[in-house]
Structure 1
Amino acid sequence: MRVSRSLPALSRAVALLAPLAVLPLGCAPDAGPTPPNFATAEPTSSATGSPLRSRLSLARHAALHHRLRLEGCLRSEGLEVAVGAQADRLRISLVRWGRTDAWRKGGASHDLASGCVASGSSAGQAGGRLTVEHQGLLEHWDARAMGLEHSFVVEARPPGEGPLSLVLATPGARVQVDASGEAAVLRTPAGRTFHYRGLMAWDASGRRLPAHLGAAESELALVVEDAGAAYPLTIDPLLTSPSWATEGNQASADYGFSVAGAGDVNGDGYDDVVVGAPRLDSGANLDVGGAFVYLGSSAGLGTTAGSIPTSSLGADTYFGFSVAVAGDVDDDGYDDVLIGAPRYDGGEQNEGAAFLFFGGRLGLVTVGAWTVESDQAGAFFGYSVASAGDVNGDGYDDILVGARYYNNGEANEGRAFVYLGGDGGPSTTAAWTAESNQQGARFGRAVASAGDVNGDGFDDVLVGAPRYDNGETDEGRAFLYLGSASGLSSTPAWTAESDQPDAWFGDAVAGAGDVNGDGFDDVLVGAPRYDNGETDEGAAFLYLGSAAGLSTTPAWVAEGDQAGADLGSAVAGAGDLDGDGYDDVVIGAQDYDGAAFNGGRVLVYLGSATGLAPAPVWTAESGQASASLGFSVAAAGDVSGDGRRDLIVGAPGYSNGELSEGQAVLYEGCTAPDSDGDGLCDLVDNCPAVANPAQTDT
C-alpha cells in the first residue's frame, strides 16, 4: 500500500502517526535527490504506482492522492486541499516563522499562478513532490499512504530567543489542538474535517527535538525546542482526512450509534457496511429509526445508501439501535444483515424485535424479512445483535440476540437467544437461551461471536452482563459458551469479572480474532467505568484462547488514562490491518477529551507473536465537542478490494448543519508494500527505508 520516498540528504526519516499508519522513526534512509526548486516535479518510478500523481502545467501544479481522494492545489495563498471534487476546501500556508521576537515572513520566493490543474486530469510519471522554496526554508508536500506529508527543512538557526515556531494560516477553518499538543483537527466552514498529527522534529545529527502543536483562531503553530540543535532541522507532520464519511442529515438522528461490516451482501466481491440511526424520524413518527447499507466497489464505499424501509414501524421503535452482519444464514452465497429494534411494540410494549434481511444479487432483499420478537413487555429484545458464527458445525451461520431487560424469575436479569441457520433462513424458535439468574444484571447488554477459542471446530459465543454483582456492585461479568455438534453449552465454560464496583465489565464484548497467531481465537471485554488512577477512565481486557479454552486472567489491558474517557465503551476485532499475519483490535473511548470535550477517541492495537502491543499504533479523535467518536467501532472488511482491511467508526453526537445528526467514517488499513523487504509492512516498520526486521533502530 505504501510508496516510500527518501527525504533530501540533509534530513533523516521521521515518525508520523496517521490513520492506520506509522512512518519511520529516527532511522537513516538512503540519501534522496537534491530538493527541487519551487514548482518542479520530482518523479520516482514504482512498479505498483504511487498514491500521488503530479502534473506540471506552467506555474500551476496539482497533486492528486487518488486513494484518499485528496486533491492538493498549490496557489499563491498556499496549498488548497479538498476531498474529491468538493468545493469545500482547506487552505494552508506558512505565514511566518522564526521566534516571537524576530519573526520572518513566510511566502514563496517565486511568484505562483492562481490556477490549478483540474482534478482527474491525466497524470504523467507516477510519484512526485510539491516543494515551495521560502527564504531560508524549504516546504515539501509528499503523498503517503495515509495522507499528505507536510515537511519543512530549516537551513540555519534563525536569530532571536525562545523556541522555533512555524505558523500556518488556515483561513476560515477552525483549528483545535488536543491537550497533549500532538494532534490538531482543522474544520472547514462546511464541516469537512482534516487531521494534522504526528509532529516530529530532529536535527542534522538525528537527535529528536521536543515539539508540539499550538492554535490560535485560524492559525496552527508548529513549535520546536531547538536549544543546542545542529542545523539544518527537519520538521515533519501529516495531513489526512477519513477516506469516506457520511452523516445523518437530520437533527438528533444518532446516525452512527451502531456500525458494522455487512459482509458482501450482493456477491460482487467487495465488502459492504451498515450504519444504524435509531432516533431517525419518519414523517410525523419520531424515533422510528433507520439502517443504511453502503455497497463497496473498486472506488470504495458509495455515498448513497440503500436504506431499509421502515414505513411499517411506529414511533419510538429505535430500529437500527444495533446492527450486524449475520453471515450467510441460508447458505445462498450472499451475506445477510441483522438489525435490532429494542423498543419495538408487537403485542407488548417495548418487547423489542430483531429483523434479518437477506442478501441477493441486487443487494439486500427488504421484503419478506425474518422477524422475531421477545413476547415480553419491556424486554428490549434486539438491544444487541450479532452473528454467532456456526455454533453446531452444520455449515450455516447462526444468529445471536440480546434482551437486556428480560425477566424470568429475576427482574431485568437479561437473556441471550441463538437462532440456528438453515435452508431458507433461520428458525424463528430459539435453539438456545441463557440468563444471568441475577436481578438487574442486564445479561445480553452485549453479545458477540467469540470465534473458536479452543480450536475444536465449533464457534463459541460471548455475552456481557455489565451490572452483575459478585462481591462488588455493578462490577460486571462476561460469559463464554462453547459450541459443539449439539449446539451451545447450557452453562458457561468461562466467566470473568472486573473485581471493582461500578466498572461495568461486559458492557462491550467482541471476538478479537487470533492476535498472537497460536491458532486459537481470543476475546475482548470492555469495562468503560473502570478506575485505575482516573475515575471512569475505562479499560479493555484481552483473554487468550487455547486448547483448554480462555485464559482466566487477562493477557493484556488498555486503559483510558483520562478521567471520564469511557475507554472500552466499544471494542471489536479489526482483522489483520497491517498484513503481518496477526489480527488487530480497535477500541472506542466515546467521552475522551482530546481536541474537544467529549469528542471521543478511537485506538488501534496491533497483534504480534507476543500478543497485543502495549501502545496504540494509531488513534483518531474528533475535534467537535460531544461528537462521541468511537461510540461504535467495527471491522469493515475490504470495501475496495485492494487487499486492505478497513475500519468503520461511528460518532452519533456529531453535528454539521443539524444538531447531533451523527456521522460514520471509514479508515483504511495496510498490507503491501514492504519497501525495504524486511518482512514488515511499512505501516508497522519503524524504518521502512532500511531493512530492519528486529526493529532495533533508534
Structure 2
Amino acid sequence: GEEGSLEAYLKLPKNATVLSAQVELSCERRREPFITYTYQGFTGNERGGFSLAVGDVNGDGWTDFLVGSPDYGVVYRNGRAQLFFGGSRIDLTPDLTLLGSMGEMLGYGALICSFDSDRYDDLVVSAPSRTGSTYGTVKCYRGSISPSTTPTFTFREEEMGSGFGLSVATGDFNSDGYDDVAVGAPDYDGNSTNRGAIYIYLGGISPDSSPDLRVAGEAGDRYGISLTAGDFDGDGYDDLAILGSEEACVLFGNTTLNSNLSVVYNLSSAGITGYNIKCLGDINGDGYDDVGMNTGGVVLIVWGADRTTLLNSPSSTILPVPRGASSQFGTSMTPLGDFDRDGLNDFAVGDPGAGGGYGRVYVYRGVSGTATPALYKTLQAQLPYQALGRSLAAADFLRDGWVDIVAGGDMYSGAPMGNGSFTIFEHRDLSDLGDNRPELFLGGITDPLYSNPSVLNTTVVVSGWEDKLNTVLNQLPPMQTDSYGNSFVTLLLRLEAHSEGLYRLANLSIIYDMEREIDATRRVRSVLENPSTPSDPYGYVHIASNVVAESPGGVNITVTNLTLDTRPWLIEEIPDLELEEDGYSSTLLNLRDYFKDDRSPFEELNFTVKTLLNATRGRLFVTEEGYLGADLQNGSENDNWYGNITAYIVCTDPGGLKVTSNIFTLHVYPVNDPPYVFRSPPAYIDEDEQFTFGYYYEDVEGDPVTVRLVEGPENMTIDENGTLYWTPTNWDVGPHNITVELSDGKGSSLHTFHITVNNTEDAPVIISSPPTIAYVGHTYYYNVTAYDIDLGDVLTYFLYESPPGMKIDSQGRITYLPTYKDVGDYEVIIGVSDGIVEVRQNYTLKVRVFNLPPEVESPGRVTAWDLKTLRLQINATDPNLGDQLRFTLTEGPEGMEIDTYTGVITWTPTPDQLGVHNVTVVVTDGQVNVTVTFQVEVERTPREFTLKVTEPREGETISGVFYVKGSATVTPGEVEKVEVRVDGGEWKVANGTAPFRLRLDAKFLEAGPHLIEVRCTDGYVYSNITAVNITVRHPQKKSPLIYVGVVAAAAAAGAGGFLFFRRFMEKKKEEEERRRREEEAMRFKEELERDRERIMRGEILERG
C-alpha cells in the first residue's frame, strides 16, 4: 500500500543538553477490510443523514462531508446541515452547523462544489419548505478556512409550493472551469398543472443568485423529480439528466446553454415510474458516463453513448436485485471510482428498507461493454432499524488510495420519524497490505532512529538518540517563549510505515540539563523600594529566591548583572486638540510620538490622563494601542455641550518612574443635534393586550421632526405623531427590539428600546409517538418530544409507571434494556410538566424476544403466456430457525393464487389479461412482515390451428344440396366457431367445430367452377384459410310434354291406361313427400346440433 505516517511533537528548552532519550514502538497488523464509524449524535427525530455531500471546503487537502437533517426542530421542521472536516483520522465531531428558519427543512438536499473563483469548495444546501407557508430556497455558503454560517447566495423559489430544492445537482455545464448548480421544482405549475421546472445557476468569478436558465415542462411532466450531472455523450461538457413523471430527459451541455430537452427514456411507454436518477460514472470504460435510474425497487442502467445513439437507440440493462432486497432498492446511488482496483469504475446502491428497515448498501463492480454488473460487497446496518442507504457518498477520506463510503440512515431510534445516523465504511483490501516494517525519524536528521528489515509485530524500545536531539537543538532557532522568558524548540518525531496497521509510540522519556538567565529587576526593585524591607547591620538587603521545576534536578543560582534604570521623557509638548460636541474618538493623538523610555518599549509604558477644567463634561483616556482618546457621548453633563477641557498626561515606566506632560486643551465645537427622546415605553406588556405608546421627543434647535419605525415586531405600526400601536399574540411572547428613527431634516437619531411580552400559562403538548415493542438484549430508546407554546418554559419529564429498569433523563430520553425475565406487556405512563401544568402519555409496551425479519428474493419482471399456467416460486428464508413463513398475495390479477405455506404462485391468464400486472406478496414469520413487489407481463401464446375439410373433396362435382364438413381444433384453447364462404362472398358460421358442418344448395350457384374457403377462430386469432375447388353441375329439367304424353298414352289404353297414370302420379307424390320429410329431419338435426354448440358455449340452458 501507499506510505503512511504518524507524527508527534517534542517541546524542549532551547539551551538544554539531552543526556538520554528513549521511546516504545509497537505494531499490529490490520485485520478487517472495513472499519466502521457510526455517528448517533442526532436528536429530536431530525432524520439526520437524509442527505450527504463530500468535498474540500476548508482547502486543507482532506475531504470533508456535509450531512443534512431536514426535520431538525421537529415542531416547525427548520432543518439543519452539519459539516465534518476531514483529516488524517476519522473525526465524528461536527465542525460547523448551518441552521434553518421556521419550516425551511434546510438539509433536504446537499452539494459541495466549486461555485466561485477561490480555491475552496462551497456548500450548497436546499430548503424546499414543504409547509406551504413559505417560499423554498437553496443556500450557498462560501468555503474558507473557517466557513461562515451566513449564506453568500440564496436562490429563491419562483412559485410557492413548487418544491423548489427537492432535487439539486452540480456539474460544469458550459465547461468554463467553474461548477454550476441545477435546482429542480417538480411541482411548478406556471400556466398549467404540474409542469415542473429546472433552474440553472452558472458558477464563475462573480456568480450571483439569479438563474441563468429556466426550463419548464408541459402539463403533467413534473420535471425535476430527480437530477444528476455527467458527460453522458463524451463531448467534454457535463450534461444534466432530468427525471420527470413520464420520461427521462437530458439537457446537453454547451458553451451557451439553451432550453432544449432531449428525451432519452420514455417511462410511460415502458409502464414504469421513476423515483431517482444518479450518474454512476463511466462504469464500463467506454469514455461515456452511465446513469442509474430507480424504477421502484428495480435499478435500470442506461449506458452513455454518442449523442445520436442516446437519442435514437439507447442501451439499458436491468441491475440484478440482490437476495433480501426490498422495494426501496435504489433509493440512493453513488459512483465509487475504481473501488476494487481492477481498472473499471464501480458504484454503490442503497436499500434503506432491506432487512425489515435495517437497511443495506450493495457495491457493484464495473463491467466491459453492456454486460450486467455483478454484486461485489454488501455493507450491513450498524444500528437497529437504521434505514442504512437512505443517502450515499464516497471519497478517499484518509488519502490512502482506497475509496471509503459514507451512508446515511435517517430512521435510527425506532421513533416514527427517527433521529437519524450515518456510518463511514473505511475501506482497505487486506491482500494489498505489506509487512510491518516501520521507520522512526527525528525531524532534521536523515538517518532513522529505528529501522529494521524484519517484520515487527511486537513492542521494542528505541533508545540512544540523545546525540541526534542535541544536534537538532543546536541547529534550530527558538520557536516559543513563555511569560517567564524561557525559550523552547519544537521537534518532530515521525513514524513512517509501508503497510496499514496499528502503530503506537508510548512511554517517551527524555532527560536533559540546561541553564537559564532570569531578569529579576522588577522583583528586586520592589523589595528595595519597600520601606518595610529589613537590612543587615552592614546595610545589605537579603533577597530569598524560590525556583520551581516540573521535573527533578539540581539548581544553581548566580547573580551576573545589575544595571540602573532612568525615568521616561517627553519628546515634545502635547498640542491643543479639537472634537465636535457629543463626539467620540479613540485616535485623537498617537502618544508614541511624544513619550519614550531608555529601557522599556512603548508597549510597557503606563499612561494616566488628569483632567483639570470641565472634567465632568467628557472623559479622556489612553487606548491599548497608545492613542489619546475622548468620549463626549456618554455621561449626563455633556449633552449638547461645547467649550474647552484642559488636561495633562502622566507616563510611568515598568520600574515606577514617571514623567508629566504639559497642560493641553481639547476644544469642543458645536454641531447640529438630531431630535432626542425623553420618555421610554414600559419594559413589559401582556400578550393579547393592545399596546399604545406616544413618543415624547424634542429638537434642541426647534426643527420640525418626522418619526419612522425602523425595526419592530410584525404588525406593529406608528403614526405621523409618533404613536406606536401593537397587539402581541402568543407567538410574540418574549423580548423584542424596537427602533424608531427621529429626523429634523439635518440629522437623525435612532431610539432603541426593549419590550418583553409576558406569557399566559399554556399546557405542554407531547407530539411524539412511542415505539411499542422492546426486544430482549436490545436497548429500547424513546425520545419524548414535547413543546410548550409558552416560550421559555422549562419542561420536566417523569415516569409514573414503567417496567423495572426503565429510566428517563432530563431531556425526555427513555432508555430500557429488557432481559428474558421481562418478556410480557407493561403499562407505561409518562408525565411532562412546565412547572405549573402537566400532561401525560399512556401506552402499552410489549417486551418480546428479538425477531429478525424474513429475507425475500424479488423475482424481478416475469413473463407469462395466456392460456398457459404460470408456476412461480417466491424464494424466502428466515434467519430465526424454526419460524414458519406464511405467504399472502395482497395485489395481483384476477385468478392468481399463492400457496400460503410453499409460496408457489399459480395462474392461468385468460386472453383478455394481456399486458403488465403488478404483484405484491407479503411474507411473514408471524411477527415481521416483508413485502416484495414485482411485475408479470402477459404475452399472447402462439396459436396452432388444425383445420381439415373432409367434404366436399378437392375438384368434386356438386349438384343439389351438399354439406361442407370437417374438423377444427386449436392449441392452446378451443375453437369458438368455423366460418365458410363461397367465391369470396359473406362468411357463414358452420354448425359445430370438431366436427363442423354447413348445408349449402348448389341450385343457388351457377354451373361451373367455384371456390369454397373455410377458416376458424378462438375468438381472438383467426386461422389460415383452407380452400376447396368444386364444380357445380345442374341436372336437366323434365319437359311438361312428358306428362302430356303419359296422359295421352293412358287415354289410348283406356281404363288400364288411366290406372297406370294414377299410379304414376301417386308414386311421384310419395317421392316428393319422402324428400320433404328428409329435408325437415335434416333441418331439425342441424338445429339440434347448433343448440348443442350453444349449450357448450354457455349461451342457452340445455333443454330436456
Same-fold status (TM-score > 0.5): yes
TM-score w.r.t. structure 1 length? 0.55
Q: Within 1, Cα distance between the matches of 2:33 and 2:414?
A: 24
1:8 paired residue number:
none
Tell me how far 1:407 sits from its aligned partner.
1.0
1:406 deviation in Å?
Answer: 1.0
Q: Check 1:514–1:672 CA distance in 2 against 1; reply closer, same or farther (3 A cut).
A: farther
Unaligned runs of 5+ in 1: 2-46, 51-65, 67-120, 128-142, 148-240, 469-476, 529-536, 677-698
Task: Classify the secondary structure of the residue corresponding to 2:354.
Answer: coil
The answer to whether residue 408 in structure 2 is matched with residue 638 in structure 1 is no
Distance 1:656 1:567, change over 3 A: closer
Residue 560 of structure 1: CA displacement? 5.4
User: 1:460 and 1:251, CA in 2 relative to 1: closer, same or farther beyond 3 A?
Assistant: same
User: Counterpart of 2:413?
Assistant: 655
Q: Which residue of 2 aligns with 1:317?
A: 104
Between the aligned partners of 1:417 and 1:146, the Cα distance in structure 2 is: 42
Counterpart for residue 497 of structure 1: 267
Tell me the distance in 2 between the aligned counterparts of 1:568 and 1:339: 22
Q: Give the Cα–Cα distance (whole angstroms) in 1 for the partners of residues 346 and 325 of structure 2.
A: 26
Change (3 A) 1:401 1:657: closer
The equivalent residue for 2:653 is none
CA, structure 1 residues 487+599, in 2 after alignment: closer, same or farther (shift >3 Å)?
A: same
- TM-fit CA distance, 1:658: 11
Deviation at 1:605, TM superposition (A): 0.6
2:116 is equivalent to residue 330 of structure 1:
yes
CA distance in 2, matches of 1:286, 1:655: 20
Deviation at 1:351, TM superposition (A): 2.9
Residues 53 and 67 in structure 2, CA contact (< 8 A), matched pair in contact too: yes
Q: Residue deviations 1:243-271, cap 9 Å, x none?
A: x221243131100111121x111111111
2:226 to 425, 446, 455: 446
Distance 1:420 1:515 in 2: 28
Q: Which residue identity lines up with residue 80 of structure 2 in the other structure?
A: G
The residue type equivalent to 1:552 in the other structure is: P
Corresponding residue number in structure 1 for 2:154: 371
**How much has 1:496 moved relative to structure 2?**
4.1
Alignment of 1:110-509 (within 5 A): 123-124=25-26, 127=29, 143-146=30-33, 242=36, 244-261=37-54, 263-281=55-73, 286-300=76-90, 302-310=91-99, 313-325=100-112, 327-343=113-129, 349-362=133-146, 364-387=147-170, 389-424=171-206, 426-439=207-220, 441-449=221-229, 451-465=230-244, 467-468=245-246, 477-488=247-258, 490-492=260-262, 494-497=264-267, 499-501=269-271, 503-505=272-274, 507-509=275-277
**1:30-179 mapped onto 2 (5 Å cutoff):** 123-124=25-26, 127=29, 143-146=30-33
The aligned counterpart of 1:557 is 319
Gaps of 5+ in 2: 7-22, 435-1104
> Secondary structure of the equivalent of 1:631?
strand
- Tell me, yes or no, if the aligned pair for 1:646 and 1:668 is still in contact at 8 Å: yes
Query: In the TM superposition, what is the alpha-carbon distance from 1:399 to its structure 2 partner?
Result: 0.5
Quick one: structure 1 residues 483 and 526, their matched pair in 2 at CA, closer, same or farther if it must change by over 3 Å? same
- 2:223 and 2:429 map into 1 onto residues whose CA distance is 38
Answering whether residue 301 of structure 2 is matched by residue 516 of structure 1, we say no
Count, aligned residues: 416
Task: Summarize deviations over 1:155-196 as a string: whole Å, max 9, x none.
Answer: xxxxxxxxxxxxxxxxxxxxxxxxxxxxxxxxxxxxxxxxxx
Quote the RMSD (CA, aligned, Å).
3.0
1:288-329 deviations in whole A, cap 9, x for unaligned? 1010111110113x211133332xx4322111011112x211
Letter in 1 for 2:89: A
Q: Distance in 2 between matches of 1:630 and 1:272?
A: 19
CA separation of 1:393/1:253 partners in 2, compared to 1, >3 Å: closer, same or farther? Answer: same
Other structure's SS at 1:641 match: coil
2:203 partner amino acid:
G
Aligned to 1:20: none
Contact conserved, 1:454 with 1:547, CA < 8 A, in 2? yes
Aligned to 1:206: none
Which structure is larger by alpha-carbon Rg, 1 or 2?
Answer: 2
Quick one: distance in 1 between partners of 2:214 and 2:183? 10
Q: Distance in 2 between matches of 1:629 and 1:421?
A: 33
| SS of corresponding position for 1:512 | strand
Question: Which residue is 1:586 aligned to?
Answer: 348
CA positional deviation for 1:546? 3.6
Corresponding residue SS for 1:308: strand
Tell me if structure 2 keeps the 8 A contact 1:585–1:604: yes
Letter in 2 for 1:317: E
| Alpha-carbon distance change, 248 to 417 in structure 1, aligned in 2, over 3 angstroms | farther
Deviations 1:606-655 (A, max 9, x none): 114346763311112326554221111122x2212212222211110011
Contact 1:343 1:351 in 2 (8 A): yes
User: CA separation in 1, counterparts of 2:122 and 2:411?
Assistant: 28
Whichever residue aligns with residue 301 of structure 2, its letter is F
Displacement after TM superposition at 1:483 (Å): 0.4
Match of 1:567, SS state, is coil
Cα deviation code 1:403-449 (max 9, x no counterpart) = 1211123322321111101113x33222222233132x432121111
Change (3 A) 1:628 1:559: same
Give % identity: 28
Query: CA 1:612–1:669 in structure 2 vs 1: closer, same or farther (change >3 Å)?
Result: farther
Matched with 2:448 is none
Native 8 Å contact 2:286 2:369 kept in 1:
no
CA distance in 1, matches of 2:327, 2:391: 14
Paired with 2:233 and 2:266, the residues of 1 have a C-alpha distance of 17
CA contact (8 A) 1:544 1:554 kept: no
Distance 1:658 1:305 in 2: 25
CA contact (8 A) 2:38 2:382 kept: no
| 3-state SS of paired residue (1:365) | coil
* 542 and 573 in structure 1: CA distance in 2 versus 1, 3 angstrom threshold: farther
Measured in 2, the distance between the counterparts of 1:522 and 1:354 equals 27
- Matching residue within 286, 289, 304 for 1:544: 304
Aligned partner (choices 332, 342, 350) of residue 570 of structure 1: 332
Q: Distance in 1 between matches of 2:417 and 2:133?
A: 29
Secondary structure at 2:150 match in 1: strand
Following the alignment from structure 2 to structure 1, what is the Cα–Cα distance between the partners of residues 41 and 309? 42
- Give the secondary-structure state (helix, strand or coil) at the position aligned to 1:349: coil
Judging by fraction of residues, say which structure has more helix: 2
Tell me, yes or no, if the aligned pair for 2:127 and 2:138 is still in contact at 8 Å.
yes
Asked if 2 retains the 8 angstrom alpha-carbon contact of 1:649 and 1:665, the reply is yes
Structure 2 CA distance for partners of 1:390 and 1:445, relative to 1, 3 Å = same
Which structure has the higher relative contact order (CA within 8 Å, separation 6+)?
A: 1
